[in-house]
Amino acid sequence: MGYPEDVLAPDEHLLLHRHPHWKMLFWPIVILVVGTALAGFAGGVISRNVTDETLAIGLLVAVLVVWLALLAWRVIGPVVSWKSTHFIVTDRRVLVRQGVLTHSGIDIPMSRISSVQFRHGLFDRLLGTGTLIIGSSSDEPLEYDDIPAVQRVHSLLYHQVFEVEHRHERWDD
């Protein structure tokens, strides 16, 4: 068993496991392509125009260091953040887990959910993503951005909450 199955309680069933929508990775990919092209261009200009070999090596190392720093800061970080963010729905609860070094999470039991909403603008609708808003019996509603197929997730959650309430009503009769 892998993640998220290993965090489930006995007899709990996984219904949905999602990472944020791939649109989170758009700018990191653009930065990777443009940064790599610029670093390659700079390396070519340096190797063609700088005649002093020591200076050329120093400049090439500087270009490499800047490229690696840009890659680590603006590409690898967001990709790791995307991969380590999990939105999970089971038959009993909603779980959200985030982080690598500092791991955080929240569990919302289905019985505590009082409302489920979604919001997406034109661009989000074109990409098939949106914001899921879960109201619970606690404080402010919780908003989760960039949920893929947000309408289907909304429908699934609404169905699960209704089924839980319906089962409790049957037991109360």
pLDDT tens by residue, 51-105: 999 999 999 999 999 999 999 999 999 999 999 999 999 999 999 999 988 989 9
What integer pLDDT is reported at residue 167 of this predicted model?
55
Q: Are 99 and 149 in contact (CB under 8 A)?
A: no
Co-location of 47 and 126 in the same domain? no
Q: Are 131 and 21 in contact (CB under 8 A)?
A: no
Co-location of 40 and 111 in the same domain? no
Domain that holds residue 53: 26-81
What integer pLDDT is reported at residue 170 of this predicted model?
45
Residues 32-50 have a mean pLDDT of 96
Of 7, 4, 19, the residue nearest 146 (C-alpha): 19
What integer pLDDT is reported at residue 157 of this predicted model?
94
Co-location of 93 and 61 in the same domain? no
Co-location of 102 and 129 in the same domain? yes
What integer pLDDT is reported at residue 2 of this predicted model?
66
Over residues 141-171, the pLDDT tens digits come to 899 999 999 999 999 999 998 765 555 554 4
Co-location of 70 and 146 in the same domain? no
What integer pLDDT is reported at residue 5 of this predicted model?
82
Catalogue the E-assigned strands of the chain. Answer: 14-18, 86-90, 93-98, 104-109, 113-119, 129-136, 142-148
Co-location of 90 and 115 in the same domain? yes
Co-location of 89 and 166 in the same domain? yes
How many domains, in total, are found in the chain? Answer: 2
- Please report the sign of the dihedral spanned by the C-alpha atoms of residue 36, residue 37, residue 38, residue 41: positive
The answer to whether position 1 is within a domain reads: no
Of 11, 19, 66, 10, the residue nearest 43 (C-alpha): 66
Domain end point (choices 39, 61, 81): 81
Q: What is the CATH number of the domain that holds 93?
A: 2.30.29.30
What integer pLDDT is reported at residue 100 of this predicted model?
86
- Please report the sign of the dihedral spanned by the C-alpha atoms of residue 6, residue 8, residue 10, residue 12: negative
Residues 111-116 have a mean pLDDT of 90
Co-location of 165 and 106 in the same domain? yes
Co-location of 92 and 151 in the same domain? yes
Sheet architecture: strand order including 113-119: 113-119, 129-136, 142-148
Co-location of 91 and 77 in the same domain? no
What contacts 24+ positions apart, CB below 8 Å, involve 55-58? none
What integer pLDDT is reported at residue 42 of this predicted model?
97
The answer to whether position 39 is within a domain reads: yes
pLDDT band at 172 (very low <50, low <70, confident <90, very high): very low
Read off the amino acid at residue 82. Answer: W
What integer pLDDT is reported at residue 104 of this predicted model?
93
* pLDDT greater than 50 at residue 111: yes
Co-location of 144 and 166 in the same domain? yes
Q: Are 7 and 95 in contact (CB under 8 A)?
A: yes
The answer to whether position 4 is within a domain reads: no
Residues 3-18 have a mean pLDDT of 89
**Mean pLDDT for the chain overall:** 90
